[in-house]
Amino acid sequence: METKTTKPLILLTGGTGYVGGRLLPLLEQSEYLLRCLVRHPDYLKGTVQPSTEVAKGDVLDPSSLRNALTGVHTAFYLVHSMSSAGQFEEEDRIGAQNFAQAAKQAGVQRIIYLGGLGDCDDQLSAHLRSRHEVGELLKESHCQVIEMRASIIIGSGSLSFELVRSLVERLPVMICPKWVQTVTQPIGIEDLLAYLMAALRWKKKQSQVFEIGGPQTATYGELMQEYASQRGLRRWLISVPVLTPRLSSLWLGLITPVYARIGRKLIESMRNPTLIRNHTALDEFDVKPRPMNAAIARAMINEDHEISETRWSDAFSSTTPRPAWGGAVFGNRIIDSREVQVDVSPENAFAPVRKIGGTQGWYFGNFLWTLRGWIDLLAGGIGQRRGRRDPQQLRTGDVLDWWRVEKYQPDHLLRLTAEMKVPGRAWLEFEVNPTSSGSTIRQTAIFDPLGLSGWLYWYTLYPLHAIIFRRMLRRIGHLAEIEHAYSSNIPSEVNSPAAISSSNTN
């Protein structure tokens, strides 16, 4: 029987990023030992399995790499500095050189690197030129380097796909620059991960560059139209030659979730065709990538099951403040979140959450909820008449007024998905987590607007929603403290069951 010490040790860099975050659980389920190198270990430790080691380090800090690479057999290099405020090419260069040197000293046998497609004869953009340079610099480690070069990644949360989706969702008519006619060869995120896992188990010993992608080529415009078709949206694209990369990036900063400095680097890359010219990967690996339309459908199905497993915006390298009014925008989703601290246990903090709705009400503005229910009925919806199955307990799948329980974890999480008539999809989530002094109750409203009408709906009603949700959370926190006092049998008039009942009214 193989012992733990005989298993190869894998190092994953970029575990808080989009691809790395998706790859991490696959590596945890594999036959290897896993170590993650991240700049902020505290943000990863709570999400990984106990067997996964989390090491603090930065490729720009050579001293932090020595211990991280000790004993490592294979390292995944999924690092880039595109969102850096400085010279991203120089940072990518230094990071790759530092990593190659440390890997050489540690005796690492294999480095697997995710780069970008693009023909060097096409006068590559700075971004794609840097991606190719990093692959060459990693070979200075004298390790075997397997470089996977990909084009657009199609998956819920990927940067390129979120850019395309946001444009389609928000603009019925798009005045498009010439890059919408550039040809690409997109790949689904699941197929990309399959290639990375296959590279881990590849038996050959030489370094090699593999070009990977789906079986279809498409322009960015065709990708937009396919997404629009699957969403049931009709869109018109008008191409014009006057939008420079700088103007386009500033425009994207207003219309999409892509920050202006990242958008400009992306747009400069979009002038280069990203096509597979060498099909060796299909011969070497048992991976059969799905076509573009199936990859888009898969991304949309995944979001129906979960809001998102990982998003490009989860990566700390890409965090940039955005205006708070109306909620943060991630991809096509609007996220409006707030929390309250309470000096009670998670069980007491969650008690008002699990009783929400039905005859209990929504803790603030019940007459407004009732009015919204009548409006929904007049619009042909279900209204608020369904109530709830049990006044005290919930389970996944329960109806709750015009909501349905999508996910339920006692004393921790309640996620509701809306079944009323809205121009889009909506969720309301409550999450309770323990703290050193008690608990936090986080309330999050998520809205996925359908077209321009969805965006108008959200921002028109946001001032009212903000008041309702803020007061609701405040009341939930207050009731949690009353619940704690009552369960502790502290004699007080305010702690009586009658007081608790009366405090639930408007």
User: Residue 406: is its pLDDT beyond 50?
Assistant: yes
User: Residue 201: is its pLDDT beyond 90?
Assistant: yes
pLDDT, mean of residues 390-418? 88
Q: Give the per-residue pLDDT at 503.
A: 40
337 plus 248 within the same structural domain = no
Closest-CA residue to 459 (of 319, 336, 372): 336
User: Residue 444: is its pLDDT beyond 60?
Assistant: yes
Q: Give the per-residue pLDDT at 488.
A: 65
Alpha carbon distance 73, 188 (integer Å): 28
The lowest-confidence range among 187-201, 225-239, 259-273, 370-384 is 259-273
Alpha-carbon separation of residue 390 from 204, 382, 398 (angstroms): 60, 19, 9
Instruction: Please report, for the domain that includes residue 461, its CATH number.
Output: 3.30.530.20
338 plus 468 within the same structural domain = yes
Whether the predicted model's global pTM rises above the 0.85 cut: no
For residue 323, being part of any structural domain is answered with: no
Alpha-carbon separation of residue 19 from 16, 309, 310, 320, 441 (angstroms): 9, 11, 8, 20, 30
Q: What is the DSSP letter of 321?
A: -
User: Residue 242: is its pLDDT beyond 80?
Assistant: no
* Residue 125 pLDDT level (bands cut at 50, 70, 90): confident
312 plus 342 within the same structural domain = no
If one counts the domains in the chain, the total is: 2
306 plus 353 within the same structural domain = no
> Is 17:42 a contact under the CB 8 Å cutoff?
no
**Identity of residue 406:** E
User: Residue 372: is its pLDDT beyond 80?
Assistant: yes
pLDDT, mean of residues 408-436? 90
Alpha-carbon separation of residue 360 from 30, 42, 158, 264, 388 (angstroms): 47, 38, 40, 51, 10
The lowest-confidence range among 36-40, 148-152, 181-185, 491-495 is 491-495
Q: What is the dihedral of CA 234, 239, 245, 247, to 10 degrees?
A: -80
What's the angle, vertex CA 295, arms to CA 219 and CA 120, rounded to 5? Answer: 45
Q: Among 262, 288, 318, identify where a domain stops.
A: 318
CB within 8 Å of 42: residues ≥ 6 apart: none
User: Over the stretch 264-286, which tens digit does the pLDDT of each residue have?
Assistant: 666 677 778 899 999 999 999 99
Name the token pair of 136. Answer: 């060459």
Alpha carbon distance 179, 243 (integer Å): 10
The lowest-confidence range among 83-92, 100-109, 199-208, 359-368 is 83-92
Only one residue has tokens 């881990």, namely 200
Only one residue has tokens 């949360």, namely 157
* One-character DSSP codes across 4-50: GGGSPEEEEE-TTSHHHHHHHHHHHTSSSEEEEEES-THHHHTTS-T
| Domain limits for position 173 | 6-318
Alpha-carbon separation of residue 392 from 357, 383, 442 (angstroms): 10, 22, 20
User: Residue 42: is its pLDDT beyond 90?
Assistant: no
Percentage of the chain surpassing pLDDT 90? 45
Per mean pLDDT, which of 145-154, 232-241, 443-452, 488-497 is the most reliable? 145-154
**Identity of residue 208:** Q
Alpha carbon distance 167, 173 (integer Å): 10
Q: Give the per-residue pLDDT at 311.
A: 41
For residue 77, being part of any structural domain is answered with: yes
39 plus 152 within the same structural domain = yes
User: Over the stretch 414-424, which tens digit does the pLDDT of each residue have?
Assistant: 999 888 888 88
Q: Among 300, 318, 336, identify where a domain stops.
A: 318
246 plus 388 within the same structural domain = no
User: Residue 244: is its pLDDT beyond 80?
Assistant: no
Write down the mean pLDDT value for the chain: 83
Neighbours of 249 (CB within 10 A): 21
For residue 483, being part of any structural domain is answered with: yes
For residue 359, being part of any structural domain is answered with: yes
343 plus 241 within the same structural domain = no
For residue 1, being part of any structural domain is answered with: no
Alpha-carbon separation of residue 387 from 99, 360, 381, 428, 476 (angstroms): 58, 10, 15, 17, 19
User: Over the stretch 300-353, which tens digit does the pLDDT of each residue have?
Assistant: 877 655 554 444 444 434 434 444 556 656 556 788 889 999 999 999 999 999
Per residue in 34-64, is it b (16+ CB within 10 Å) or e — as a string?
bbbbbbeeeebeeebeeebbbbbbbbbebeb
Name the token pair of 301. Answer: 């199905």
CB within 8 Å of 238: residues ≥ 6 apart: 173, 174, 175, 176
Q: Give the per-residue pLDDT at 308.
A: 44
220 plus 333 within the same structural domain = no
Per mean pLDDT, which of 135-139, 363-367, 379-383 is the most reliable? 135-139
290 plus 340 within the same structural domain = no
279 plus 348 within the same structural domain = no
User: Over the stretch 453-506, which tens digit does the pLDDT of each residue have?
Assistant: 888 899 999 999 999 999 999 999 999 988 777 766 655 444 444 344 434 443
Instruction: Please report, for the domain that includes residue 163, its CATH number.
Output: 3.40.50.720
Q: How far is CA 159 from the centre of its chain?
A: 9
User: Over the stretch 59-110, which tens digit does the pLDDT of each residue have?
Assistant: 999 999 999 999 999 999 999 866 554 577 899 999 999 999 999 999 999 9
Alpha carbon distance 506, 495 (integer Å): 18
Name the token pair of 225. Answer: 């139209």
Q: Using H for helix, E for strand and C for coil, what is the string for 132-148?
A: HHHHHHHHHHCCEEEEE
The lowest-confidence range among 51-60, 188-197, 492-501 is 492-501
Per mean pLDDT, which of 161-175, 186-200, 367-381 is the most reliable? 186-200
Alpha carbon distance 226, 255 (integer Å): 20
Q: Among 284, 318, 352, identify where a domain stops.
A: 318
132 plus 279 within the same structural domain = yes
**Identity of residue 21:** G
Alpha carbon distance 137, 98 (integer Å): 10
298 plus 369 within the same structural domain = no
